[in-house]
Structure 1
């Protein structure tokens, strides 16, 4: 755990009680409840970004359970949406209408944290969560030595593969979490899984409508980082040989080998599933949670498996965990943290992970037998949990603008073959650093 967080843990006096989820937690806020008037008397608003039916049901059920156990500190469930959350929060913060408890992703927190919009959770985090959530996960939401979100769900990127086609391919070994494909080996496997230059079957379909996070997070497996800190603490973009491996592999699969479908570059992950089920693509790199859609939509008898993403050297990939934060303007931060602690009790965290088909960050929840079953690839996912580290852009101010205005169009054009590597590098580095400089003056 970051040293400032550890120090604050030693200074804390009330958090052991705050983490309790039973009736014993009620007296903690009973005095506060009698004193609350006006705006402070309203329920705490919890904005959730859960969207899958199972996940929404789990979140709402836990809110209802909290309200039954803690009638003096009720929580109101508010539905948010991933595609609009950043702009919605900007507007809400400006208007003084931000939710008290905020569900987001760690790579979206930096500007809000540095801008004073989020509460410093360092002195509030219960000991149980501080010790149960690994340090590398806590670091994803730590900015300037202070914690601004509690990471609770994470999603490795995996290869969803047609098991029948994989078995039939000559000379293609099946990778494991302990021995994944290298990137050259993955490229060779995609060639062997392809059938016909005109795309009768492609070895892989890359759904890259949103190409930035996939590219950056997978690049950690080759030693790429892209974002670096200068001696003065400012972030800058550098695009070296290690950063080139992943984008060059994807580019060459599409434009040189013909083993990756060009038409999927503008697709989201769900858009590729009909072609995958039809045997048009042998593999699709997807987030771990897409398994739910596959279970729901796959034709009867369709045989699929979950493989680890490629990696050169030590398997590692970047993730931006889902987080729970508290607004800086929240009048009852201790009560808000007590609710977060309740949501993230090991059994509840496992429940949320199962509802979202993702992995919990907590080591206790991760031991839940349901998350380690071989069915639907759960065991492969849990085996990858230790290889998940903070995405390179986590603490970079200006990253959302860099991603939207520079990296997304640049990568899309490169993957399609419209520009070369030199042009891509120039955009990401030269144009990108101009964007970041505005946020670091």
Structure 2
């Protein structure tokens, strides 16, 4: 009796173990892929690729899981701590630092195939590098551009910039002033979240804001190169009257009704906003994409690409990376880029003719890809707190005219370094 009881117990435990092994009992691996795609075209592209993988890889099935950009950080943190994280994780590079340093993401250096490593430029890999490891594969990115009322520009007779001959920041300010008058504005700055836009555009002028010393510690500086973009915005709003103060608290989508209504000649927006414009613009509305102004460093601009990572706790890291490699084959990366109205990071995908058309100004955006760099705050520990508690209120007050440039500098540097110091002891 005792022998049969022990045997039954052992068999029960074995069956329990097998049933919890993600389908491994029948020899098939199941990967959970959490996607943050939300636009219909993008969701369709992701689901189609998952179906194509499943049709050709019977031993490694991928389960599509829908996530949300609005809650992804907290949701992932909860799933990591609860041991329930997806195997393949869609996120953005500026959200990876805490997860990478916290040991929740797998270091992909030894797992990535050579094709994928060589296809994506080093400047893009830097966005997902933390310490000595690579914790995500950057695959979609977008420059910040100027979306302009093309008819308004033609009637004004101003020089229209191109990626080969962009406006300087001073020229941009002068033209915005020239386009203003009679209750209309040359530009609308949607700066509800002003920090990343300011820092990323400031790369064109040589601005860095964060500086890493020989001891590895990061400090904040606000030098002359960092002042150019903030001064331009501030002076357009408070001195020239060429930018509407009402839009400073808006998100990008909030400015579109005024743009369509002829209130603003230009709006600085992410390249993917073209989809909303195509869908929402009144019939016959003529718009075009212009490059953001250039500075001492040309059209350099900071970006935080979308990424694909693998959970450190996943028992199927090899299979997860093989799926990522499939998703990011050049032809598939193009499909994902077109679905999201963004640019692929891969050099082969960027050559695709579909990304070089005049329609919807794809060619203008693609011409800016070479200038995209890792966002200045990408790997700075403590950046989220610095942004929320120090930089956001300081920039908001400066842009509205409530404080001057010296008070802005004091807050960003003195208060900012106190915050960062707590993360670098």
1:37 Cα deviation after fit: 5.8
Q: Which moved more, 1:381-390 or 1:422-431?
A: 422-431
- Cα distance in 2 between the residues matched to 1:437 and 1:182: 36
Q: Which residue of 2 aligns with 1:256?
A: 239
Q: Which residue of 2 aligns with 1:178?
A: 164
The aligned runs of 1:343-382 (5 Å cut-off) are 343-382=327-366
Aligned match of 2:92 in 89, 100, 105? 105
The aligned runs of 1:316-331 (5 Å cut-off) are 316-331=300-315
1:38 Cα deviation after fit: 2.1
Aligned match of 2:134 in 138, 142, 147? 147
Q: Given the alignment of the two structures, is residue 164 of structure 1 paired with residue 164 of structure 2, yes or no?
A: no
1:55-107 CA distances to partner (integer Å, 9 max, x unpaired)? 01111111111112122211111111212212222222222222211111111
Gaps of 5+ in 2: 1-16, 24-28
Q: Which residue of 1 aligns with 2:21?
A: 39
Give the 3 Å change call, closer, same or farther, for CA 325–259 of structure 1 in structure 2: same
Q: Which moved more, 1:307-316 or 1:180-189?
A: 307-316
Normalising by structure 1, we get a TM-score of: 0.89
1:17-63 CA distances to partner (integer Å, 9 max, x unpaired)? xxxxxxxxxxxxxxxxxx97623437221111111110011111111
Q: Which residue of 1 aligns with 2:424?
A: 440
1:110 Cα deviation after fit: 1.2
- Cα distance in 2 between the residues matched to 1:179 and 1:238: 30
- Cα distance in 1 between the residues matched to 2:84 and 2:249: 35
Give the 3 Å change call, closer, same or farther, for CA 423–349 of structure 1 in structure 2: same
Q: Which residue of 2 aligns with 1:52?
A: 39
Q: Which residue of 1 aligns with 2:187?
A: 204
> Retained in 2: the 8 A contact 1:317–1:387?
yes
- Cα distance in 2 between the residues matched to 1:300 and 1:372: 24
Q: Given the alignment of the two structures, is residue 428 of structure 1 paired with residue 412 of structure 2, yes or no?
A: yes
- Cα distance in 1 between the residues matched to 2:36 and 2:97: 18
Q: Which residue of 2 aligns with 1:286?
A: 269
> Retained in 2: the 8 A contact 1:141–1:150?
yes
1:177 Cα deviation after fit: 0.3
1:132 Cα deviation after fit: 0.5
1:88-132 CA distances to partner (integer Å, 9 max, x unpaired)? 222222222222111111111111111111100000111111111
Q: Which moved more, 1:69-78 or 1:379-388?
A: 69-78
- Cα distance in 1 between the residues matched to 2:198 and 2:21: 44
Q: Given the alignment of the two structures, is residue 337 of structure 1 paired with residue 321 of structure 2, yes or no?
A: yes
Aligned match of 1:83 in 51, 70, 74? 70
Q: Which moved more, 1:380-389 or 1:60-69?
A: 60-69
Q: Which residue of 1 aligns with 2:289?
A: 306
The aligned runs of 1:239-250 (5 Å cut-off) are 239-250=222-233
- Cα distance in 1 between the residues matched to 2:18 and 2:131: 33
**Aligned-pair Cα RMSD in Å:** 1.3
Is the partner of 2:267 in helix, strand or coil? strand
> Retained in 2: the 8 A contact 1:108–1:400?
no
Gaps of 5+ in 1: 1-34
Aligned length: 403
